[in-house]
């Protein structure tokens, strides 16, 4: 293959793009942190300034540093953002889309949006592409992409250049394959970002994977690093319930945010504090703990998730994510069945592979290559087609001959299976220390993490036997916004059609959970949601939009418990979901279900489920929070203690701003009490000099909520 063109200037690269590709530029860039932001900005500005050229950007999850929606929030955020996000480069097109200022010669289309950020934004809503993550590469390719650009990690220099797709091998390779197979000319550009963790295995590519490699230092900048969210009592309750469904020796998929952190911390508590873990669950489960998994992780878990998040890294460091899988279906099946016992190589390992027909006797060159790849034969063993030789030992390759088998077993076997993987991911996103830990992780540990294509992670098709063998006892944990009483889930959009985020990989994981014999789909949601329209139940009779249809219902978890729905009748499904609903909404749900013939006329909610209330839940978990098992930030935070104190007050104020009666009471109370905030806090928020009546009220409100 021809060598890539090495360009040391982003401006020169953009010149080359504009000169080489006539007409409309259709730019494909990865979701999340894999975007080459400086290159995208330069190209965007050039075309924005030249109405004669057109640009379409096809991507997902475009990230922007937080700026705040009020003067108070902006003043608070500015020093925090400077400290946490460093020199991360915001993208111009994101700001223009948010402001409704996209020029007429530029379009932006995304198949997944940052959650809730584009509600009411007409251009963004019109540009949304509804697709499953697994089909995203296909659906990007049909847009006529002629440029694909990605930020890459790097090792070495021009003479010995090694490149990694790092966070985003998820769809890039497939997009290029599809575009080029269709005969479309497409320019592939890698922009080196030296702050991007270099991920090995499936993420590493040869430099000639790209047509152009940009080495401009301007391509290097901090990676988008959202701070860890606080884990609330509600999040912990959901996480604790979910963690009790995870089987030792199994497979785990979770997502980002406070729920992912809650699950991770709950698994750590289960492994390290088993007695306390049982006591916590007993307090949360009025129906008892039958069917729950409460033991330690003696075999460990394998992580297989489209999103590799901070909670997974913490579980790796805690020794819970450690079950290694191997890229060979027969070898993996023998490990699962116990015919190969553990990862230590023994003569029994060799015999099991012979008995299963995975290797032959006499051995072929392919057999020897396989055995050496996985560490079963020492790498120094040589094979001439008939004889195996290691140091001063030589024997034939017919392992049915006892003397040959003995010679190989005694002198030529390795000690441990090699090239095992305990974490497979498609892309990553996390706080600052997450990236730093990846950058500094010892190579032998980093080699156990495989960032790879999303079509491998999110479906069973293609190498079906291998995926089934690796993903034993899988628990696919997904969040949703609304669940109907008949078990359908709405996760990506509102009834109005307004897109909140996107389907992502949720449907694919749902389908896998039903296709794998020992897998479970775990759909998690908070029992209520609160906004300007007031407190609402997240479990409803019906909803005008569905992401996951009712016939794929399985397990639903709220903070109030687990509803096992698989194989149940509609009437039983309704009862089980009402049992995990907030008790303030149970009477209305019962009434609606009866009105539609899905509950008996004399049905009443059992007494043990009539106390599903936030204050009751908080009281149950408070002792464990005070004991340090359920901390607000189990995996740390980038915020200082003062900032956390300020955030709590500002959240109370923001909540009240959506509820007029609450805001009026809060204002009167604050003015009456006349409390003052610390001067440093007031200076941070720009309230030191409160001249207007509004500023004086804000100052009192803030002080009153500290």
* DSSP assignment of 589-616: HHHHHHHTTSS-TT----GGGTT--HHH
What integer pLDDT is reported at residue 649 of this predicted model? 84
5-77+88-219 has which fold?
Glutaconate Coenzyme A-transferase (3.40.1080)
- Which pair of tokens denotes residue 462? 């293609």
CA distance 685 to 527: 34
Pairing between β-strand 423-428 and β-strand 393-396 as defined by DSSP bridges: unpaired
C-alpha span between 395 and 69 (Å, rounded):
76
Query: Within 13 A of 553's CA, how many CA atoms are on the CB side?
Result: 27
**How far apart are the C-alpha atoms of 327 and 466, rounded to whole Å?**
7
Give residue 696's pLDDT band: very low, low, confident or very high (50, 70, 90).
Answer: confident
Contact of 381 with 412, CB cutoff 8 Å: yes
Band of the pLDDT at 71, cuts 50, 70, 90? confident
Is the pLDDT at 666 greater than 90? The verdict is: no
The residue-averaged pLDDT of 563-570 equals 97
Domain with CATH 3.40.1080.20 in the chain: 233-321+423-609
Give per-residue pLDDT as tens, 471-492.
Answer: 999 999 999 999 999 999 999 9
Give the model's pLDDT for residue 658: 77
Is 647 or 149 the better-scoring residue by pLDDT?
Answer: 149
Residue 478, helix vs strand vs coil: strand
pLDDT, residue 180, reads 84
Mean pLDDT of all residues in 591-604: 96
Residue 1 has what pLDDT? 58
φ, ψ for residue 188 (rounded to 5)? Answer: -105, 120
pLDDT by residue (tens digit) across 242-285?
999 999 999 999 988 899 999 999 999 999 999 999 999 999 99
Instruction: Identify the weakest region by mean pLDDT among 287-291, 411-415, 599-603.
Output: 287-291
Burial of 290 (0-12, 13-18, 19+ CB in 10 A): exposed
For the chain, percent of residues with pLDDT exceeding 70: 100
What 3-state DSSP class applies to 414?
A: coil
Q: Say which CATH superfamily domain 233-321+423-609 falls into.
A: Acetyl-CoA hydrolase/transferase C-terminal domain (3.40.1080.20)
Give pLDDT, residue 211.
95
Q: Note the pLDDT tens digit of each residue in 181-219.
A: 888 889 999 999 999 999 999 999 999 999 999 999 999
Q: Where in the chain is the domain with CATH 3.40.1080.10?
A: 5-77+88-219
pTM of the prediction?
0.94
């Amino acid at each position: 293959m021809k060598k890539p063109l090495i360009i040391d200037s982003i401006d020169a690269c953009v010149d080359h793009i504009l000169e080489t590709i006539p007409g409309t530029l259709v730019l494909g860039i990865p979701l999340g942190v894999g975007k080459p932001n400086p290159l995208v900005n330069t190209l965007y500005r050039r075309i924005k300034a030249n109405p004669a050229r057109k640009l379409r950007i096809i991507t997902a999850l475009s990230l922007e540093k937080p700026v705040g929606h009020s003067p108070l929030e902006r003043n608070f955020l500015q020093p925090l953002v400077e400290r946490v996000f460093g020199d991360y480069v915001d993208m111009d097109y994101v700001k223009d889309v948010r402001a409704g200022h996209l020029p007429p010669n530029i379009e932006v289309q995304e198949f997944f949006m940052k959650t809730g950020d584009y509600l009411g934004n007409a251009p963004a809503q019109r540009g949304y592409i509804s697709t499953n993550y697994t089909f995203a590469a296909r659906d990007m390719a049909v847009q006529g992409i002629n440029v694909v650009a990605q930020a890459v990690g790097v090792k070495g220099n021009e003479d010995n250049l090694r490149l990694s797709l790092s966070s985003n091998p998820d769809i890039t390779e497939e997009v290029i394959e599809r575009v080029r197979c269709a005969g479309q000319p497409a320019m592939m550009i890698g922009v080196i970002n030296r702050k991007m963790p270099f991920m090995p295995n499936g993420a590493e590519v040869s430099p000639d994977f790209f047509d152009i490699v940009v080495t401009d230092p301007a391509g290097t900048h901090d990676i988008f690093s959202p701070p860890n969210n606080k884990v609330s009592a509600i999040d912990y309750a959901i996480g604790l319930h979910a963690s009790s469904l995870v089987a030792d020796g199994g497979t785990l998929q979770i997502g980002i945010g406070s729920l992912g952190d809650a699950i991770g911390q709950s698994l750590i508590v289960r492994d390290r504090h088993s007695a306390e873990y049982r006591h916590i669950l007993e307090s949360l489960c009025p129906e008892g703990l039958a069917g729950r998994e409460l033991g330690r992780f003696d075999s460990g878990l394998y992580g297989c998730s489209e999103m590799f998040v901070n909670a997974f890294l913490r579980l790796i460091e805690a020794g819970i994510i450690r079950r290694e899988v191997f890229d060979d279906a027969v070898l993996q099946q023998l490990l699962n069945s116990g015919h190969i016992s553990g990862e230590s190589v023994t003569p029994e390992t060799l015999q099991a592979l012979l008995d299963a027909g995975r290797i032959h006797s006499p051995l072929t060159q392919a057999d020897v290559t396989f055995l050496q790849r996985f560490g079963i034969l020492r790498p120094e063993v040589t094979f001439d087609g008939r004889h195996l030789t290691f140091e001063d030992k030589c024997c034939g390759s017919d392992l049915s001959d006892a003397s040959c088998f003995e010679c190989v077993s005694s002198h030529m076997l390795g000690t441990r299976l090699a090239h095992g993987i305990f974490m497979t991911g498609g892309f990553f996103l996390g706080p600052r220390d997450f990236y730093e830990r990846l950058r500094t992780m010892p190579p032998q540990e980093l080699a156990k993490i495989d960032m790879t294509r999303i079509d491998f992670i999110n479906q069973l098709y293609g190498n079906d036997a291998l995926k089934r063998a690796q993903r034993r006892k899988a628990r696919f944990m997904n969040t949703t916004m609304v669940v109907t009483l008949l078990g359908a889930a709405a996760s990506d959009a509102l009834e109005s059609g307004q897109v909140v985020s996107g389907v992502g990989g949720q449907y694919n994981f749902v389908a896998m959970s039903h296709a794998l014999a020992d897998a479970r789909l775990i759909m998690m949601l908070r029992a209520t949601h609160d906004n300007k329209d007031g407190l609402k139940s997240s479990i409803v009779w019906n909803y005008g939009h569905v992401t996951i249809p009712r016939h794929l219902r399985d397990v639903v978890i709220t903070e109030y418990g687990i509803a096992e729905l698989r194989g149940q009748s509609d009437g039983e499904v309704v009862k089980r979901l009402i049992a995990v609903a907030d008790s303030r909404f149970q009477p209305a749900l019962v009434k609606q279900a009866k009105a539609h013939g899905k509950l008996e006329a004399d049905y009443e909610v059992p007494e043990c489920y009539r106390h599903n209330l936030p204050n009751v839940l908080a009281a149950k978990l408070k002792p464990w929070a005070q004991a340090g098992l359920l901390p607000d930030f189990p995996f740390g935070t980038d915020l200082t203690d003062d900032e956390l104190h300020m955030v709590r007050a500002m959240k109370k104020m923001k909540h009240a701003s959506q509820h007029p009666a609450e805001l009026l009471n809060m204002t009167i109370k604050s003015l009456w009490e006349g409390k003052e905030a610390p001067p440093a806090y007031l200076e941070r928020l720009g309230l030191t000099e409160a001249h207007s009546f509004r500023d004086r009220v804000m100052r009192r409100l803030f002080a009153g909520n500290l």
